[in-house]
Structure 1
């Protein structure tokens, strides 16, 4: 985030939007905290950002919303949070229609969307104190204790007195998460929450997400990092070019893709030749490993062919398919899988 946007709170949603209403939305329909039907957003000029999205997010899940940058993830989240109107279709959050029920729903939702909006001239602690004070349901007598607990939870206690304009991007992300966690929430919506974090910070955020899920909070996490989704999420949906490709339990999505044959050997060139003769395609050779598509033939026969050819086989088998394998199989394309 640049310094100008950091000085203009409201440029992005960094914390729950307080509102009226009783805040007591009933249980989500069929155990779903988010559901959409044919949700569509078309911008002026005809750009179709989201095309007929049918999404179902189970209560208590850590739900990964996965897709390359520009696939429609942030636009979908902005519609779910009532920040923009859909062109057509419906969206329900906590069993209430959005954006019509925003004043009832949003006090129960913590959100970090498109990066936190901060007062750069205030310290991290004072930013949270001001955000908490804007919530009419927050007890002022326990405000400082809530802020201290939120800062501690995201690892910012030591830097809480520093001006927000001096924070790194990763620290701003942490402060935005702290703002979303000032009060217990039924739903936490995070748009690229590990953006700008170093590997240690990414691990800490993943651990925090798991803790929140164990506490009963449903976490809806958007990311373009396949590895991140696979490590922390129980369920996922895959978006591409504004359309939903698939959704379901992460284990089931990965199980729908074929794994990879892996041969560990010092004789990689000979192994690749034999595997090609056995009709195995998509071969890749790395240091000490040859991988390829799982063979149609019996694995024992393929292994025997390697041994007969004098290949020293130190490891042989089919690795379980990953979420990356499932995505490539479904879309025919890949994207950033670093995590």
Structure 2
């Protein structure tokens, strides 16, 4: 078993016809045994990156490797060790969920036909589709189709799972179940690489993450470090006055909303109580005041300057 990074790219670049630069000099490192979240606003190059990683399209330049082997050159030996759900599963609508999985398993040259139905039954049970196994997949809801696609990725033990929006279409209970399954797989030694438009999902289930914007990698690292920045937060009916006072005192990176101001506190060892006293002295009505840990969403907006929409 390869013990280096599960995924590694160096200078990975994709330029489409017409000169569109979708991915630009991407250096990505996904540690073994991690649950890695892949984030970015619409059109940031995430899906293009995933397609290159899986050998579905060729890069213009640069290199990509899965489990220590170059892609797409080593796809025949690497992909049997990789499970994937990309942009939703491809299903035969006239076949039942069970029969779709049997077809998937039959296409795997390394799958033992003697244990096929046992593996299919186990995969269906793992994603909560046993009761619907005999139902034609064209009658499945979007969430059920996502579950079936995930079941297909789990028919064999995998060293790496690549999942594109794995909870898309699921109700809250289904989302919790899939998150629990991802944690279980990671605990068993499977590296999970997933993109998601749900930032709380990344914070709940991922150990590491990378942020893309306009085809370039902005930052990568442990989730706890990406969202570790603390900010001063003031709740007040006088946000403009509060922002003015804080700025005069040396606070930076101020964000002002209707009833709230957040900022990087002034440098140095000044007492936060002195900042609060200065606000009150200036006539600012302070309802709450203190330091708070930034969310991953705060970190994302600070890094990209954009709201969070990762359809691309």
* Equivalent-residue separation in structure 2 for 1:147 and 1:250 (angstroms): 34
Check the 8 A contact 1:238/1:244 in 2, yes or no: yes
1:74, distance to aligned residue in structure 2 (A): 1.0
* Equivalent-residue separation in structure 1 for 2:309 and 2:199 (angstroms): 7
Tell me which residue corresponds to 1:200: 173
5+ residue gaps, structure 1: 1-25
Tell me which residue corresponds to 2:262: 292
User: Size of the alignment, in residue pairs?
Assistant: 301
SS of the residue corresponding to residue 85 of structure 1 reads coil
Of residues 137, 142, 145, the one that matches 1:172 is: 145
SS of the residue corresponding to residue 219 of structure 1 reads strand
Of residues 233, 243, 265, the one that matches 1:261 is: 233
SS of the residue corresponding to residue 25 of structure 2 reads strand
Tell me which residue corresponds to 1:155: 128
Structure 2 residue 251 is the aligned partner of structure 1 residue 283: no
Check the 8 A contact 1:67/1:223 in 2, yes or no: no
Question: Structure 1 293/188 Cα, relative in aligned 2: closer, same or farther at 3 Å?
Answer: same
Check the 8 A contact 2:232/2:289 in 1, yes or no: no
Of residues 94, 105, 110, the one that matches 1:132 is: 105
5+ residue gaps, structure 2: none
The CA deviation string for residues 170-196 of structure 1, in whole angstroms up to 9 with x for no partner, is 111110000000111000000111122
- Give TM-score, length-normalised by structure 1: 0.83
Check the 8 A contact 1:260/1:321 in 2, yes or no: no
Check the 8 A contact 1:262/1:319 in 2, yes or no: no
* Equivalent-residue separation in structure 1 for 2:202 and 2:129 (angstroms): 24
Question: Structure 1 278/262 Cα, relative in aligned 2: closer, same or farther at 3 Å?
Answer: closer
Alignment of 1:235-250 (within 5 A): 235-250=208-223
Tell me which residue corresponds to 2:185: 212
Check the 8 A contact 1:225/1:336 in 2, yes or no: no
* Equivalent-residue separation in structure 2 for 1:282 and 1:211 (angstroms): 39
1:233, distance to aligned residue in structure 2 (A): 0.7
Check the 8 A contact 1:236/1:249 in 2, yes or no: yes
Question: Structure 1 274/224 Cα, relative in aligned 2: closer, same or farther at 3 Å?
Answer: closer
Question: Structure 1 190/274 Cα, relative in aligned 2: closer, same or farther at 3 Å?
Answer: closer
* Equivalent-residue separation in structure 2 for 1:273 and 1:49 (angstroms): 43
Check the 8 A contact 2:54/2:71 in 1, yes or no: yes
1:322, distance to aligned residue in structure 2 (A): 1.5
Check the 8 A contact 1:111/1:188 in 2, yes or no: yes
* Equivalent-residue separation in structure 2 for 1:199 and 1:109 (angstroms): 27
Check the 8 A contact 1:226/1:336 in 2, yes or no: no
Check the 8 A contact 1:275/1:302 in 2, yes or no: no
Question: Structure 1 189/278 Cα, relative in aligned 2: closer, same or farther at 3 Å?
Answer: closer
Question: Structure 1 262/124 Cα, relative in aligned 2: closer, same or farther at 3 Å?
Answer: farther
1:323, distance to aligned residue in structure 2 (A): 1.4
Check the 8 A contact 1:132/1:138 in 2, yes or no: yes
Worse-matched range after superposition: 175-184 or 316-325: 316-325
1:54, distance to aligned residue in structure 2 (A): 0.5
